[in-house]
Amino acid sequence: MILETLVVGPLQVNCYLVGCETTKEAAVIDPGADVPMILAALTQNGLTLKKIINTHGHFDHVGGNRELRETTGAELLIHIDDQPLLQLASQHAASYGLQTENSPAPTGNLGDGDTVSVGELQLKVLHTPGHSPGGISLLCGDHLFSGDTLFAGSVGRSDLPGADHQTLINSIKTQLAGLPETTIVHPGHGPDSQIGIEKRSNPFLQ
């Protein structure tokens, strides 16, 4: 697997480029902004973008959807419960004093247990609501892309519309905590971690 992390936008979102070494097909997870940088990284790695995947619909994770989709023609995928947020991105950004574009409608909706193929890679969809109703995490081998569900030493906010703290904790405990402890956690913001480290030291999981 080819994996590159790009920190994009004013809220410092981790945008992940995931590529198949054999086919050179790629997915981009959470292109929140800075699309020229994302396109440059794809070119540098010799990759063709096939899938744009949003772990959830908040503006800082979807702001680059339109430009990236129009430039590459890639599919756009999000959990059905967060699809309504795509048309509110500009409004939500404005409430933070920021600007972004509303996203186009997705070309497909994701549900728990679905698999997204990227060349020979398989990304399994784990529905992890709590930060948002349609929040997902994506598991690819021993790599977990956790969006804004689980962070190194923390968890996602639950003070936003549609969020619920207990739902979030339940998502982590039922969907993520049972993964192998060596599973690498790639969160929506901040540094990487591992499932075992978070189970032992994350204060929200004790």
* Structural domains of the chain ordered from first start: 2-205 (3.60.15.10)
Q: Provide the pLDDT for residue 57.
A: 97
Q: Is 71 exposed, middle or buried (0-12, 13-18, 19+ CB in 10 A)?
A: middle
Mean pLDDT for the chain? 97
Q: What percent of the chain has pLDDT over 90?
A: 99
Q: What average pLDDT score do residues 87-97 get? A: 94
Q: Provide the pLDDT for residue 98.
A: 94
Residue 197 CA, distance from chain mean position: 21
From CA 60, how far away is CA 113, in angstroms rounded?
25
For residue 119, give the DSSP letter: T
From CA 103, how far away is CA 22, in angstroms rounded?
31
pLDDT in tens, 10-54: 999 999 999 999 999 999 999 999 999 999 999 999 999 999 999
Q: Which residue type, as a one-letter code, is found at position 12?
A: Q
Q: Which residue type, as a one-letter code, is found at position 19?
A: G
Q: What average pLDDT score do residues 172-182 get? A: 98
Q: Provide the pLDDT for residue 16.
A: 98
Which two tokens mark 10?
Answer: 């004013």
Q: What average pLDDT score do residues 137-166 get? A: 97
Strand order across the 184-187 sheet: 115-118, 121-127, 136-140, 143-147, 184-187, 193-194
From CA 44, how far away is CA 48, in angstroms rounded?
11
Q: Provide the pLDDT for residue 102.
A: 95
With contact defined as beta carbons under 8 Å apart, do 186 and 14 qualify?
yes
What pTM does this model have? 0.97
